[in-house]
Amino acid sequence: MSDPVYDLHCHSTCSDGRLSPTDLVNRAAQKGVTHLALTDHDTVMGVDEARIAAQASNLNLITGVEISVTWENKPLHMIGLNFDTSHSSISQLMNSQDLLRQERSQRIAHKLEKKGVKEPLAAALANANGGMISRPHFAQCLIDQGYAKDFESAFRGYLGAGKPAYVATQWVSMETAIENLTAAGGVAVIAHPRRYRLSHSWMRRLLEEFKAMGGVGVEVITGGGNQGDRDSMSLLAERYQLLGSVGSDFHTAENSWVELGRLKPLPASVEPIWSCFTA
């Protein structure tokens, strides 16, 4: 038996990814992933399909989700892993986040209309195609109507924080999200901690409060992270006694520098998040 390969963060067409849950699982298996978590934004609607595909590919599927949370007025992402998707605390959380996303989409669309964009909500909903609606679906509409040349410029010009179509959202609090995941038997992990551009003191505060609220892990290895990020997050994970997670944040095969299962191993000094998963 070769060593297990974990990838515990990726997206399907059930949120802003480009592959269906089945195609995603098949690609992961082909890339040598042995343990995968599908972590769509604020939804678990792809998990059942992913599980069926995983059984066919002999891949271990760990239930997952990426929850948008608010902490100290900052929007952060938290990965939930290894929980019971049918638990009432999860369905309640997914419903309330869905409502927040629907309200936010209407407000984003309204702002885009003021910029001359035609029927942005209908276009974004068509792009989401039944999956959880998110900003990349609006970005696609901006590209299609010639307002942006690519995703990056759609965020830079319209959708990113502080830009004309940005809508600040009061997501579920970090504490409530952790409570709900824990109630459903799962663990909470801070996603891509380096992406929030927190100062050292804010990062320490985040890790300390997250741990005190019952948070268990932090992504030490993320897609696109560099050696400096990995070293500093390993030290912080040890210092705050958090377990380390590994996730590519794969969205599409078109982005060649983020691939499923192509991640550096966790340093031996960090205890892996999967050490707390029971078989």
Helix/strand/coil for 53: helix
Looking at 115-150, list the stretches that DSSP marks H as alpha helix, in order from N- to C-terminal side.
120-128, 135-144
Q: Total number of residues binding ligand AMP (CB under 6 A)?
A: 11
Min dist CB 151 to ligand AMP, Å, is 4
Min dist CB 251 to ligand AMP, Å, is 6
Q: Residues 7, 16, 42, 219: which binds Mn ion (CB under 5 A)?
A: 16
Whether the Cβ atoms of residue 252 and residue 151 lie closer than 8 Å to each other: no
Two structure tokens written together for 264 = 């550096």
Q: Which is nearer to Mn ion, 82 or 222 (CB)?
A: 222
Query: Considering CB distances under 5 to 8 angstroms, the limit depending on partner class, which of Mn ion, ligand AMP, none binds residue 151?
Result: ligand AMP
Two structure tokens written together for 47 = 């998990």
Whether the Cβ atoms of residue 55 and residue 37 lie closer than 8 Å to each other: no
Backbone angles phi, psi at 62, to 5 degrees: -105, 130
249 touches Mn ion by CB under 5 A: yes
125-164 residues in contact with ligand AMP (CB under 6 A) are 134-136, 151-152, 155, 160
40 touches Mn ion by CB under 5 A: no
Whether the Cβ atoms of residue 154 and residue 142 lie closer than 8 Å to each other: yes
Instruction: Return the residue nearest ligand AMP (CB atom).
Output: 134
Binding characters for ligand AMP, 84-123, by CB under 6 A (x = yes): ----------------------------------------
In the chain, the amino acid numbered 97 is Q
Q: Residues 29, 38, 47, 77: which binds Mn ion (CB under 5 A)?
A: 77
Query: HSE of 34 in the Cβ direction (CA atoms, 13 Å)?
Result: 6
Chain residues that interact with Mn ion, rule: CB under 5 A: 16, 66, 77, 191, 249
